[in-house]
Copies of this chain bind each other. A is one copy, B any other.
Amino acid sequence: MINPVTNSLAERCRQKGLRITGPRRVILRVLDRAKDHPDVEELHRRVSAIEPGINIATVYRTMNILAEHGLIERHSFSDGRARYEAVPEEHHDHFINVETGQVIEFRSDEIERIQQEIAHQYGFDIVSHRLEIYVRPTQKNKK
């Protein structure tokens, strides 16, 4: 009963010995608060709204550093650009609604378990995984 919910990214950066600078603090805050999966441009927009003058190159560099340290996850989904989210306390997967583009998180212990099983059959240990399910709303209650 020690951890409240999640350590903030800033805390986790500190634990890794990364410096918490002004720009970085803002970027980390934006990532902590994001409930979606913004790309670099969107991150930069949000960062700039909090504190103007932070260069987009800094956002790119920070994303690379955070990803190297395993503090954020990089996604691609259907679109081209890279999109990011803070590494969640508990792993989850994603539904992507193809009609709206909306991303919905979900988790299934059964899927997690079976993946382990299959990987072991192939002689592998899982490092990480990524499951994206592209969906549309069930058509039964249509007009």
| Chain A interfacial positions (CB closer than 8 Å to B) | 76, 80, 82, 95, 97-98, 104, 106, 108, 110-111, 114-115, 118-120, 122-139
Q: Quick one: given A82-B80, A110-B114, are A132 and B134 in contact (CB under 8 Å)?
A: no
- CB of B120 within 8 A of CB of A138, answer yes
Pairs A–B under 8 Å by Cβ, sample size 14: A95-B124, A98-B127, A108-B114, A108-B118, A114-B114, A122-B135, A123-B137, A124-B138, A125-B136, A126-B133, A127-B136, A128-B134, A129-B133, A130-B130
Chain B contacts for A137, CB-based, 8 A: 123-125
- CB of A130 within 8 A of CB of B132, answer yes
Chain B contacts for A139, CB-based, 8 A: 125
Specify how many copies of this chain sit in the oligomer: 2
Per a CB cutoff under 8 Å, which of B127, B128, B133 touches A115?
A: B133
Which chain B residue lies CB-closest to A74?
A: B78
Chain B contacts for A80, CB-based, 8 A: 82
Chain B contacts for A124, CB-based, 8 A: 95, 97, 133, 135-138
Per a CB cutoff under 8 Å, which of B106, B118, B120, B134 touches A111?
A: B118
Chain B contacts for A98, CB-based, 8 A: 127
Chain B contacts for A123, CB-based, 8 A: 137-138
Nearest-neighbour CB distance to chain B for A59, whole angstroms, equals 16
